[in-house]
Amino acid sequence: MNSNRGVKIGIIGAGGIANTHARYYRQHPWVELVGIADIVPGKAAEFAKKWDIPEERAFEDYRQMLETVEMDGVSICTYNMAHRAPAVDALAAGKHVLLEKPMAVELEDARAIMRAWEGSGRILMVGFQPDFSTQYKAARQIVDSGALGQIYYAESVSFRRWGIPGGTFLKKAFAGAGTLVDTGCYALHTTMSLMGDPRPVTVTAMTGNFLAREARGEQEWGRFRWRAEDVEVEDFATAFVRFENGAVMVFKSCWAANADSIGRPFFLGTRGGMVLNPRGVDPPVEIYFNHHVGNLDLTCAPKGLREVEDWPEKIRAFAEAVRDGLPSPIDPRGVFLTNVVMDGMLSSAERGGEVTVDCSY
């Protein structure tokens, strides 16, 4: 560990997520923001001024930044369909990479990123901040202890009753897909990670924009405004996934549903079961065992867990890994398997039947 060593970071993509990265990097005096690139004319310069980056280090072409600015790593904050090129180029240039989720939408893009990473000697971290949440850390500790035994079934859930975003989130050319790659990928990664990142074998899925297409007039959710004709991606996705180790998973994700819940994420193991509760519900994790006191079934829950803000923890973990020569805080090989599953979902939904998936890259 070299806590005195400074870390120089560049950012590719100057949108809203990039501002979040910059804000949390700035919490660490040993991190220096040294460059920004964005293809939209003037956007990088505006970002540079806001975050005190020298104006000569604002670029429209990220490759020029990689070639001319001394840096240790980059945060890649481009839209989903523009992840491949900057990630591959940054790794080839010897930079550590924090890539916003998902790794990619197109499986071939994810494969290219993995090939660029393997053997590079650099960090590739895909930015799933829930990995740094109190809930995930508690669940991880429970699973790693062996308390659940072998997990043979899980349900992965991402739910919004009505939360359809607008803008590029709804366009295939930018987002690639809808709820699956926006919020669903968080749930998918969490579930598969806690299952031990098993290799998927087959996927059966259904997707559709069942509620979005029925909307009348302008709709709103937070800062977003949209109309039915704007929606090119799914607002609902569900799947059944079989894994090489014999386990199975049911996946459910929606931006909108005529329900107040589509269930909680849960795991069934040979020794115990585990449920993850929605954010803000105490306890965040519950454990179930088939032990009895009289006619009482026993339920356990960790006590005294202190909620932490996961976003700053994500940025800190990446920056410290760069500074201290540590491996990626999130193994990209497990993340790649979520891309295999998502590609299988989209292929299965399009074909209307089960598909076999290929985990190679």
Q: Which pLDDT score, from 0 to 100, does residue 299 have?
A: 83
What mean pLDDT comes out for the span 175-190? 98
CA dihedral sign of residues 8, 11, 14, 17: negative
Q: Does 1 score more than 60 pLDDT? A: no
Beta strand extents in the chain (DSSP E only): 7-12, 31-37, 58-59, 73-76, 96-100, 124-127, 151-159, 200-208, 219-221, 224-226, 236-243, 248-254, 266-269, 273-276, 285-293, 296-300, 355-356
Domain ranges of the chain: 7-129+312-327, 131-308+339-356
Q: Which pLDDT score, from 0 to 100, does residue 334 have?
A: 98
Using only the alpha carbons of the chain, give its radius of gyration: 21
Q: Does 213 score more than 90 pLDDT? A: yes
Question: Dihedral (C-alpha) 121, 123, 124, 125: value to the nearest 10 degrees?
Answer: 160
Looking up tokens 């760069």, which residue turns up?
322
What whole-number distance in Å separates Cα of residue 355 and Cα of residue 349?
A: 9
Of the options 2.160.10.10, 3.30.360.10, 3.40.190.10, 3.40.50.1000, the CATH number for the domain spanning 131-308+339-356: 3.30.360.10
**Residues 216-258: tens digit of each pLDDT:** 999 999 999 999 999 999 999 999 999 999 999 999 999 999 9
Q: Which pLDDT score, from 0 to 100, does residue 183 have?
A: 97
Distances in whole angstroms, Cα of residue 119 to Cα of each of 124, 329, 334: 11, 17, 17
Strands 73-76 and 96-100: parallel
**Residues 67-106: tens digit of each pLDDT:** 999 999 999 999 999 999 999 999 999 999 999 999 999 9
Q: Which residues pair with 181 in a beta bridge?
A: none
What whole-number distance in Å separates Cα of residue 81 and Cα of residue 168?
A: 11
**Residues 249-293: tens digit of each pLDDT:** 999 999 999 999 999 999 999 999 999 999 889 999 999 998 777
% of the chain with per-residue pLDDT over 90: 92
The domain made up of 7-129+312-327 is a member of CATH 3.80.30.20: no
Comparing 152 with 297, the larger pLDDT belongs to 152
pLDDT-derived band at 61 (thresholds 50, 70, 90) equals very high
pTM metric for this prediction = 0.95
Q: Which pLDDT score, from 0 to 100, does residue 4 have?
A: 66
Q: Does 2 score more than 60 pLDDT? A: no
Going by C-alpha positions, the residue among 45, 46, 37, 39 that lies closest to residue 68 is 37
- Reading the block at residue 104, the tokens are 């990619």
Q: Which residues pair with 158 in a beta bridge?
A: 253
In sequence order, which ranges of the chain are alpha helices (DSSP H)? 16-25, 43-50, 62-68, 84-92, 107-117, 134-145, 172-175, 179, 185-194, 310-324, 332-351
